[in-house]
Amino acid sequence: MSQSTRTRNPAYTPKDATPQRRFPLRELVLFGALLIAVLAVYALMGAAYSTRMLVEAACYAILALGLTIQWGYAGQFNAGVMGFVALGGFCAMLFSVPVNDAFWGTELPGELGRVLLYGVVATLIVVGVTKLNRFGVPNKLRTIIAVVLAVVLYLVVISLLRDVTGQIQSQAGFVGGFGLPAWTGWIVGGALAGGVGYFIGHVCLGLRSDYLAIATLGIAEIIKAFLKNSDWLTRGTATVSPLPWPTPGPAELGFTLARALYLSVTAVVIAVIFFLLHRAYHAPWGRMVRAIRDNEVSSAAMGKDINKRRLEIFVLGCILMGLGGGMLATFNSLFDPQGYLPLNHTFLVLVMVILGGPGNNLGTIFGAVAVYIIWIMSEPLALALMQLAVFIGEGWFGWEPPRNLESRALQARVFVIGLLITLVLRFAPKGLLPEKIKTHG
Amino acid sequence: MNELVFFINNVVIAGSVTGSIYAIGAIGVTLIFSIMRFAHFAHADMMTFGAFMVLLLTTLFPAAGASIGVPTALVMLPLAMLLTAALAVGIDKAFYKPLRFHGVKPIVMVIGSLGVTLMLQGLIRLFSGTGGQSLYVDDRKEIFRIALPIEGVRAPIVITEPQIYLFVITLVAVVALHLFLNRSRLGKAMRAMSDNPELAQASGINTNTIVAVTWVIAGGLAAIAGTLLSLDVTFKPDLSFFLLLPIFAAAIVGGVGHPYGAIAGGFVVGFAETLAVFNWHVLLRPFRDSLPTWLELPSNLAFVSTEYKIVVPFFILVAILVWRPTGLFKGKVI
């Protein structure tokens, strides 16, 4: 942009830079309003429903914390939160669902293991062939050999895999779970999401920031397509349910108490994450990350390893998303790959972060809970508004409403989320609780 | 020879169809990228919007095309292009211009365009419902079967009417764009601004006009691509997320900010997709008897099944970002 706009909107004004110990009026007002809203929902919808809403909001808060690390701390835009959430949900399902004896009792696990071993061996062979130039094979010839071999071996392995997975599907239904406690699934889900994040980040983080958005958008759709179509692994569209809870379920304690117990688990997780992030943010590491975000060239000149820090941040955010996704799936007690939608699991989280205040953990949690309440409440509201429109349309103009009105009314929410994103970016780019910028020195 | 005809039907024709659509979409993305320096995520929804406008106009005047012997949808296409171009300029004025004026980072523009994506999606679904609809309201889709004059070939080459229109329109659009960029004053100004915005402004080019012209071209092309895609299959309001990745992959493969590269990238991605889902077993069938007996070919030799088609553009994208981030034709901006 031109020089004039830059001087009109400086990144820091001296007012921002001076540390102020002020009374946290804004925080108190916002959280007070939030408390009133929560109490109103309790009064209107009953305790069981409202507690459920709070648990889901808490899970979303973990996702939002993951995104606020990436977007707020480091300025990386992840447009594929959904994919990492789905990975977390998948791991929670895989680890906690009871063991399927129809699968483990047969020779199928051995077959599957054999095919996976073939896959590993084939990968090793191809990797080995790419090193052939060290033994005097010309580079061009090596590339040709490697590509042809990779294609042939891939076709062999993939057709073996298709055979085995087809058999699993027809004989055992799906592989079932490991029957372990749910929290093991959450941790592995976080690790898996972090691994995928490492791969994506490794490819994209050195390039333009737009490329990361494109690649994450793509990987999210791929993860969803994989989970949806791998019936042998996830039962695909047939969905897996119920997923066991780590806490006593509603059957023993009743809905409200069981959900309240789950809420306390999520609250502890959020508190731990919040504490660790708070420490990291104020540590030298956090300062370095923000320095890279605000002025890449100068931090490179100071000898900071920019790409490595970026990768750390990105992977950390993805881990949190996987963890939150696992907790969400376990709470819903349902793993439905088709239920992962870009709107519900990417853009809703994005709105939470940019509305609450990117880079401000407290603001992010506020944004998560507030936006989730609005989101949940908007469904009956949208239906009511649509019914009103139909009533007026029928009565005054003799308009014949289309049949699938409910599904169309819910599309209005897509519009509202989009409008909210653009408006916040335009009028409140720092969110409701802006990141506090301090000088250290 | 029957196998070869099968190959032509399923790879050559299908690949050219997808390739053309991706190419037209990617040209728009790459133009916006070269002028405004951000990845425009709402492009796929502008395509859907264009197709939806055609659908709307065709339903309103279903008999308009019959009098001159072309499908009504094609008659309505120029009108839909105008509407989509107007929408694109309007979106820019309402949402992107304030952000640009504030001097935000490109990535904030990307998020803004995602917001616009959602708004367009919501509007289109609100008015059209979520199901698929054919753009052939009153006309019939003609299917041509060309039998090859060779002994022993039973299967004909199958090509449908919209596919022929698709090739013709793609060719016309590309030639027109080429002439515009190279011969007209505005086109040259556009290239100048894509090379160096400050210098272009200093030498008296009105950058606001250039931005508006870019949006008009991008909107018009988006309407063409969306309509042609919907003519070939059906109109669906939720096309966008599956189109975004191939289109961006095409733009990046060709080198961002490089319109001719985008065309090449579109065809690369389109053919890669069709080749990857093609079942190669069919081509090996004639050689069945000459293969060694120990080699038992499985009946499905496709690289990926159709459900995983989206994996192909993604891996092309990753490969190009790893080995040649500037794209095949050396784009201007990385």
Q: How confident is the model at residue A19 (pLDDT cuts 50, 70, 90)?
A: low
What mean pLDDT comes out for the span A24-28? 85
Sign of CA dihedral B42, B105, A201, A78: negative
The predicted structure's pLDDT at residue B139: 66
Lowest mean pLDDT among A107-111, B52-56, B179-183, B284-288: B284-288
Q: What is the ipTM of this complex?
A: 0.87
Lowest mean pLDDT among A13-17, A192-196, A330-334, A422-426: A13-17
Residue A189, pLDDT > 90, answer: yes
The predicted structure's pLDDT at residue B280: 80
What mean pLDDT comes out for the span A425-430? 85
What mean pLDDT comes out for the span A218-232? 89
What mean pLDDT comes out for the span B210-230? 92
> Whole-number mean pLDDT of chain A?
85
Nearest-CA distance from B126 to chain A in Å? 5
The predicted structure's pLDDT at residue B331: 57
What mean pLDDT comes out for the span B7-35? 90
Closest residue to B123, CB basis, from A162, A218, A415 = A415
Interface test with A, best of B46, B111, B236 (most A CBs within 10 A): B111
What mean pLDDT comes out for the span B151-180? 86
The predicted structure's pLDDT at residue A4: 43
Taking only the tens place, the pLDDT of each residue in A132-178 is 888 878 888 888 888 899 888 888 888 888 888 888 888 887 887 78
Share of chain B above pLDDT 70, in %: 93
In b/e form, how buried is each residue of B257-292, taking b as 16+ CB within 10 angstroms? bbbbbbbbbbbbbbbbbbbbbbebbbeeeeeeeeee
Closest residue to B301, CB basis, from A155, A404, A415 = A155
Residue A3, pLDDT > 50, answer: no
Nearest-CA distance from B123 to chain A in Å? 7
| A–B interface: beta-carbon pairs under 8 A | 167
Q: Do B321 and A419 touch (CB under 8 A)?
A: no
Q: How confident is the model at residue A312 (pLDDT cuts 50, 70, 90)?
A: very high
What mean pLDDT comes out for the span A273-280? 92
The predicted structure's pLDDT at residue B305: 81
Q: Which residue of A has its CA nearest to B321?
A: A203
Query: Which of chain B's residues have a Cβ under 8 Å away from the Cβ of A8?
Result: 103
- Residue B302, phi-psi category: left (phi > 0), alpha (psi -120 to 50), beta (remainder): beta
CA-to-CA distance for B18 and B239, rounded, in angstroms?
A: 14
Residue B40, pLDDT > 50, answer: yes
Residue B254, pLDDT > 90, answer: no
What mean pLDDT comes out for the span B176-187? 90
> Whole-number mean pLDDT of chain B?
85
The predicted structure's pLDDT at residue B138: 65
Tokens 């053919």 -> residue: B271
What mean pLDDT comes out for the span A388-416? 74
Interface test with A, best of B32, B114, B239 (most A CBs within 10 A): B114
Q: How confident is the model at residue A206 (pLDDT cuts 50, 70, 90)?
A: confident
The predicted structure's pLDDT at residue A192: 95
What mean pLDDT comes out for the span B63-77? 78
Lowest mean pLDDT among A266-280, A391-405, B50-64, B273-287: A391-405
Query: Which of chain A's residues have a Cβ under 8 Å away from the Cβ of B313?
Result: 218
Q: Which residue of A has its CA nearest to B91?
A: A422
Q: How far is CA A396 from CA A260, A391, A402, B249, in A?
A: 48, 8, 17, 50
The predicted structure's pLDDT at residue A81: 94
Q: Do A426 and B303 touch (CB under 8 A)?
A: no
